Amino acid sequence: MQHRPNDCNQNSGQNRKRVINYLRVSVTDLCDYRCTYCMPPEGVERLPHSEILTFEEIRTVVGAGIPLGINRVRLTGGEPLVRRDVPQLVRMLSSLPGIEEVYMTTNGSLLGEFAHALRQNGLKRVNVSLDSLKAERYREITRGGRLEKVWRGIEIARKAGFEPIKLNVVVIKGVNDDEIVDFAKLTLENSYEVRFIEYMPFGPPAVSGKFEYIPADEMKRHIGVLGPLEKLPGVSLSGPAERYKLAGARGVIGFIPAMSHSFCPTCNRIRLTADGRLLSCLFSGRAVEVKSLLRTGAPAERISDAIRLAIDSKPSGREARCESFMSSIGG
């Protein structure tokens, strides 16, 4: 077991006895989109297949985290649904004693094909990344994505029993900030939870430096034209979103102020990358490598020790930039 540097800026800090109960698992570094703010047009260098954790290895890591308090798992990518047989992984994880919920974040491109199988195998909730309500703009942002296909997938997911569905909107100045009000309006007649996320600069400056975030407080001012926002009571360990409602709305509006307001002191998650590294923070400068333990037959206690090391090294704050692409970390 060892700390291995990655190419993110390191930030010192000690874990302040936070309860860490949430593991985000990147099942693949591959994605069928090439979002402009996420990666260059040609994509990024893919990991060799042999370097990707198997489903059984992922289950072993999740199982080793349960005695330490891990009871929620979110599957991410890349795009998790491009990996074959992901519903099988959902079943493997959701059947582990002690795991209360398995979630997924997806771009929605394949959601229509897999929604029913995911639900039947134990997936509790789904978040869909959706950065524009305009078909042509959506195609430009994703470099080829089809908005109508995503909406069709969302509707199929609703019929499969996923309710409410969270829509994740990364708001970028001059790109889609003129749609903030339109996204907020979706909650008036629908049960969606629309979550506005401040853009975070991932990847080399040549990619990430082209974009600028909009502070959550400014987003709230935009939405104010629809009426006052009523803040909902916080729920312990529910995640970083500040949740609000418009008067009479069926749905919820959330804000994730990743840049303007640090939620580091209450962060309850660690991450497992597709190639077997444990990250205590998206912006962490160190990773705890567990793949070698898995592939040399280490006992569960040593896997738990690695998870504990990642938890104990969780920083109290972060730097402002990470040189890794999000697809290599897990969203």
270 is in an annotated binding site: yes
Give the span between the Cα atoms of 268 and 209, in whole angstroms: 28
271 is in an annotated binding site: yes
8 is in an annotated binding site: no
Give the span between the Cα atoms of 80 and 128, in whole angstroms: 12
Nearest to 202 by CA among 191, 194, 213: 213
322 is in an annotated binding site: no
302 is in an annotated binding site: no
Yes or no: say if 308 and 269 are a contact pair by the CB < 8 Å rule.
no
220 is in an annotated binding site: no
Measured CA to CA in angstroms, residue 108 lies from 54, 96, 280, 315 at distances of 23, 26, 27, 32
- Beta-carbon contacts of residue 43 (< 8 Å; ≥ 6 apart): 31, 34
4 is in an annotated binding site: no
269 is in an annotated binding site: yes
166 is in an annotated binding site: yes
Q: Which two tokens stand for residue 9?
A: 């800026």
138 is in an annotated binding site: no
245 is in an annotated binding site: no
200 is in an annotated binding site: yes
No. of helices (H) and no. of strands (E), the chain: 11, 13
38 is in an annotated binding site: yes
264 is in an annotated binding site: yes
Q: From the annotation, which residues make up the binding site? A: 24, 31, 35, 37-38, 74, 78, 105, 129, 166, 200, 264, 267, 269-271, 281
Q: From the annotation, which residues make up the binding site for GTP? A: 24, 74, 105, 166, 269-271
Q: From the annotation, which residues make up the binding site for S-adenosyl-L-methionine? A: 37, 78, 129, 200
Q: From the annotation, which residues make up the binding site for [4Fe-4S] cluster? A: 31, 35, 38, 264, 267, 281
